[in-house]
Every structure is written in C-alpha cells, then in structure tokens.
Chains A and B, each alone.
Chain A
Amino acid sequence: MKLTLENVTKTFGDKRAVDGVSTELTNGVYGFLGANGSGKTTLMRMLATVSTPTSGRITLNGNDIFQLGDSYRDLLGYLPQHIGYYKHFTVEKFLFYIASLKGMDKHGAKQRITELLDRVNLTEKTKVKIGKLSGGMKQRVGIAQALLNDPKILIVDEPTAGLDPKERIRFRNLLSEIAQDRIVLLSTHIVSDIEYIAKEILIMKNGRLIEKNTPQKLMEGIQQQVWKVQVNDREVASYQSSYKVGNMVRGSNGVELRIISERKPAGDADHTPVNLEDLYLYYFDKEAGA
C-alpha cells in the first residue's frame, strides 16, 4: 500500500497552509512534526478527505483518493485534532454510531467496541455519557473510534493531547503493535510521542515539508551542532539570548545547558548525543522559546 502526495497545496485566501508537499508513504508509522500553524492539521485533513487540496494530488496505489471516495474512506481511521462527540451519548452508544458510519455490522461492532474499550482502558466507562468524561478520557474515546474498523490507514492528529504520561505510553505501545501492516500518520509537537515508534519523521514548517527521514538520519544530520555546556546561574540568561537553549539541568557545579549551535558556544563545550528534542529545537527555535 502506497500513499503518494504530489505537490499538494492548500490555500485559504492568500495564506498557503500547505505548500507543494510531495512525498510517498508506505506501511509503518510516520511522525509529522511541526509547530502550531505549520500545516500538519491541514495536511492530515486532506489525507482524511475532509478537506480537498487546492492543487496537487493524493493517490493510494496510483488512484486519486477523492475519486476512490468511500472505498478509500473504508480503509481509513481518523482522529481529528479536536475530537467531536455528542455529550448525551454514552461511550458505547457513540462508538456504535461511529461503527454505523464505518459500515460495520452490529455484532462485529459490539465485539470490536468491547476489545477497544479494554485497550484504551475505558471498559468501566462504557455506559457513562461522554459529556461527563475528563478530557483525557474523551481523547481515548476518540482513539477507540479511529481504530474501530481496523483501518489500513490511520491518521491521528495530536492524539496524545490531554493524556497523562501513563496513557501516552499505553497509546504509543498500541500504535507500535498495530503499525506492522498499515500506514499510520501521526502528527504531534510532542517529540517523545514518535521518538521510538516512527519509521520516518516528516518535518513541516510554514506549510512546507522541509525534511523527511528516519529519526536516526535526522539526528545524525545535526550531530555536530548539539553541545553541552556547564555555566553558572548568572550566565544562563546571556546564553539564552545568544543561542537556542534546550534542556537546563541544575547541578552542584551550576547549570548544564544543551545548546544547538553551528559554532562551539564556549571553550569547554562538548558534543553530546542528539535526541529528537534537539531536532525540534533546531527547526522550531522560536516556538520552543515561546
């Protein structure tokens, strides 16, 4: 199975939300990394067919997904950025409704709902009205609905927003398990969501796809630009104004700063192994500092 994006562009008035994105996606997890407004959500929406490109083409195995229409949507599971629900529906009733939208029969839906509610740890909330659930629980209902039809293409937009750390780990594990024989597209600005499960990371900035590679290759690309420097408290502000500063760890000898810089920031600065947070900082310094 191959999803191909050919020069996909989406404009809203003068604004180019997605600008000429071309890429190919095959089975595995793809992490879309980008700051707010980078075009991730718009791109996800087009892949989920809830929005159409202004120009360009998206194909599945060579066929335009908008021409495929319902047969493409039959393969799809989509968790939008802002999950929707009917507050008066119980969790189970809502999932049955989504199952109907996905064309599932009642018996199959019943089994699948029971299984998924167990997997997202909501079995006890089956008969509770969605309006009464916490934000994290609603998000888990959203995850369950996306997986109902065992989709071959799973599109999840900011899926871990609102989840506590334990649930985020549970979700990551769930994605890892199911990603073997399907395309999973996951957009996030939380790098730990994709650090260990993404086959490739696609970095989006200002509507453009600026990088697409394995996490390892992307991190290798900035290996010479990540430094560790030991400074005292008074120097921290000065470094922050001159460099992209990531993690700061306070110790007995002062503060250890992670700095992203093409040149050595201090005489005693040393290279340090790169992680995805450094990568995020490298591409989205302004947002990280905000």
Chain B
Amino acid sequence: MIRWELIKIFKQKSLYFAGIFMFGWLTLVSLTNVWDNDVTRDVYREWQGPITQEKIERADKLRAELENQHSENGYDDKTSALAGVSNDITLAHTIQLQNQQLAADYTQLSKQAEQKGDQLEKNRMDLAKDMYSNVKVDKISYYAAPREAIDFVNVFGLILTGLFLIIGLSGIYSNEHATGVENYILSTKNGRQVTMKAKLIASFIFTIIVVVVWEAYNLLMKTALYGTDGWDLPIQFAYKYQASPFSLTFFEYHLIQLGLHLLAALAFAGVIVVISTLAKSSVLSFFLSGLLYGVPIVAQSIMSVDIRWVDRLLTFTLTNIMKVEALYMNFITVNISNYPILLPYVGVVVCMVTLVIAVFLSMSLIKRKQIA
C-alpha cells in the first residue's frame, strides 16, 4: 500500500514543474551571488588556525592600516579579503571576551537569585553561565561554505520543504474524494486503517526525500562554490549566531539544524494529511496548509508582529521550528516548575506532540469517515 501511495504522490506533474522552476531559480541566484573568490580563500588560509594573541595584534594593526588606506574606488579582492579576515579575528576575540563577561555576570546573577530564594532563576543563570563558558571562538579559517549552507536551510530549505509538502501532500486524501475512489477505499478491507497508515508513511518518506534532495543540492552547490573549509568553526562566526550560547561547530549545528528541520517537516506532513482528510477538495486543502505554513512567516517577516506573547507563540509554530535559527540564536528558556528548558528541546517536544496528534487524528478520522 505504501508503494501505491508513493506512486500517487510522485505522479503529480506539478511537483516536477515546481522542482524545475525552484532549482533553476536557485541555481541562477547562487551563481550570480557568489560572495568570495579563490583570493579570499587563499588569504584566509594564510591566517587559519588558533586565534593567538599575536594574530589578534596583527589583525588590529592590519585593520588600522586598511582604514587609513581607504580608497574611493573600494578595495581590490586581496585587500577586501584581508579586511574580512582581520574583522573576523577581532570579532571572534570580542565574542570570546563578551562570553567570558557574560559567564561572570551570570555567576553573579545566580548568587543573587540564590539569596532571594528564586530557585528557577538560579537554575537559569547557572545554565547560562555553563553554556557561555563552554563557547570557544578561538580559531579561524575560511568559512563561507558552512555559513552559506546553514543559511540555505533558514531561507530556501524552508521554502522548498513547505512548497513541496503542500504541493505533494495536499491531495493525499482529498484527491480520493475528488476522483470518487474514496468509495472503494472506504468499502474495502485495507481501505481505512491500512490505507491511512500507508498514506502517513508515504508522506513521511516523501518528506525525507524532499529534504535529502535539497540538502544534496545545497552541499554540492556550496562545496563547488566555496570548498570545504570552515565546518569545524563555531557557529558564532555566522552573524545571526554571534550571541548564541550553544557551543557547536558549523558541522554539528548543520546536522542538528537538518534533524530539527526534518522533524518539524514530518510533523507538518502529518498536519497536511489531517487537513487533506477533512477537506473536500485538494484546492481547499492546499490553501489551508499554505495558510498554516505561511502565517508565521508573514507575521514575523513581513508584518513584524511586535507583541511579546504572539512572537513567543510564533516561535513554536512548525514553520519557525523548521527554520531552526530562532531556537539557537539567544539564551531563551521555557520554564517548567524550577527547570529551565532550552528552546531546541521545546521545539523537539512540540514536533513530537504535533506528530503524534496528527497520526492519531488521521487514524481516528479515517475510522469514522463516511460519504455524505
């Protein structure tokens, strides 16, 4: 039955049209927006390795020189690369100092919370102190490939997964209604529970395929354009993660990012199956799923909702969890009793709960499904 459901999903021509369009467009965008070149890579390689005091001083000196050399026509490639590497070294050093300061501050705050008898706050501050103490921004190398690869997940990965899941799965049950095949499905031995299980599993397989395909494209493209350097650098080198308390290399973070993205995508696939089972038409299912997916993006990116509880609520939508970055950018916890829980863990729980509810609802709906 799973095979049949996969055949039905992959028979949809719209998937291939969307695929050709999206990957064509992405390739065009990637090739016309290459940030660096071989000169940049070579300059970074001259500086790569541990950030020593000597490198920090050289970087400061170099930055001062470059500021004096400021030209109206801008810098040449080598000078730009030198400016980049010196800035990165200074930035890394600054982050390192800031984190040390943060760890000291949190130690102080922890003591104050203890004196006030506020156990939760003490636990939070201890956790923050431990996390920031562990962050080591103490080496440098060329890192354009991992920087671009993780950014791809936040932006294009999010679009691609959402688009393909909505196109591929919106009709997974509503098409049965539209074609009239629902009559056979509901009147046969394997038509209800077995078919719904197959639809869910096929949806999950399809989701995994979608993520694997764009990730393969992402890695191939980034490796071809920027090489393989930098995956062992801490994520704090990426602008969005400078304040992150998580001690992760780009490689570790990218794996976690993909895992979380996939988990949220699986939960979203389950939600689409539920919507499709309820909706009488694939068009309705398509729009409802699209709305559910798009509202958090529109609310946060375009309308810039600035209401704290709405913003916090949007953090836990599947779309935002799929985006991953908001869970790792800052030290934010959800507090249960005296225990602070870090956002990524909450994200995992939200996905798991959504997935379980979606599976339960789908099975329950098909059991009671009837044709009016």
What chain A residues lie within 8 Å of B182 (beta carbons)? 50, 84
Task: Report the bound CA distance from A101 to B192 in whole Å.
Answer: 9
B35 at the interface (CB under 8 A from A): no
**Stretch from B118-126, B183-191, B283-291, B357-365 at the A interface:** B183-191
- Whether A83 contacts B187 by the Cβ 8 Å rule is no
What chain B residues lie within 8 Å of A56 (beta carbons)? none
What chain B residues lie within 8 Å of A51 (beta carbons)? 370-372
- Whether A86 contacts B189 by the Cβ 8 Å rule is no
B58 at the interface (CB under 8 A from A): no
What chain B residues lie within 8 Å of A85 (beta carbons)? 179-181
Please tell me which one of the listed residues B11, B187, B191, B372 contacts residue A88 in the complex, with CB atoms under 8 A apart.
B11
Q: B162-179: which residues lie under 8 A (CB-CB) from chain A?
A: 176, 179
Chain A residue at minimum C-beta to C-beta distance from B192: A70
Given the interface pairs A12-B372, A86-B8, A88-B11, the reply to whether A101 lies near B179 with Cβ below 8 Å is no
Given the interface pairs A45-B371, A50-B370, A86-B179, the reply to whether A101 lies near B8 with Cβ below 8 Å is no
Task: Report the bound CA distance from A70 to B4 in whole Å.
Answer: 20
Distance in Å: Cβ of A10 to nearest Cβ of chain B: 10
Interface of A is mostly: loop
Given the interface pairs A84-B180, A97-B4, the reply to whether A50 lies near B371 with Cβ below 8 Å is yes
B193 at the interface (CB under 8 A from A): yes
What chain B residues lie within 8 Å of A73 (beta carbons)? 187-189, 191
Distance in Å: Cβ of B12 to nearest Cβ of chain A: 10
- Whether B184 contacts A76 by the Cβ 8 Å rule is no
Please tell me which one of the listed residues A49, A82, A86, A97 contacts residue B186 in the complex, with CB atoms under 8 A apart.
A49
Distance in Å: Cβ of A17 to nearest Cβ of chain B: 10
B195 at the interface (CB under 8 A from A): yes
- Whether B189 contacts A101 by the Cβ 8 Å rule is yes
What chain A residues lie within 8 Å of B1 (beta carbons)? 100-101
What chain A residues lie within 8 Å of B372 (beta carbons)? 12, 51
- Whether A145 contacts B184 by the Cβ 8 Å rule is yes
- Whether B181 contacts A84 by the Cβ 8 Å rule is yes
Chain B residue at minimum C-beta to C-beta distance from A46: B370
What chain A residues lie within 8 Å of B186 (beta carbons)? 48-50
Please tell me which one of the listed residues A49, A70, A83 contacts residue B193 in the complex, with CB atoms under 8 A apart.
A70
A103 at the interface (CB under 8 A from B): yes
What chain A residues lie within 8 Å of B8 (beta carbons)? 86
What chain B residues lie within 8 Å of A52 (beta carbons)? 370
Distance in Å: Cβ of A106 to nearest Cβ of chain B: 11
Q: A142-188: which residues lie under 8 A (CB-CB) from chain B?
A: 145, 149
Task: Report the bound CA distance from A48 to B179 in whole Å.
Answer: 18
Task: Report the bound CA distance from A103 to B185 in whole Å.
Answer: 12
Those 3 A-B pairs whose CB atoms lie nearest each other, nearest first: A84-B180, A80-B183, A84-B181
Contact sample, A vs B, 16 pairs, CB 8 Å cutoff:
A48-B187, A51-B370, A73-B187, A73-B189, A74-B189, A80-B184, A82-B180, A84-B176, A84-B179, A84-B180, A86-B8, A86-B181, A101-B1, A101-B185, A102-B189, A145-B184
**12 extra A-B contacts, CB within 8 A, seeds A84-B183, A84-B184:** A12-B372, A48-B186, A69-B192, A73-B188, A84-B179, A84-B180, A85-B180, A86-B11, A86-B181, A100-B190, A101-B188, A149-B189
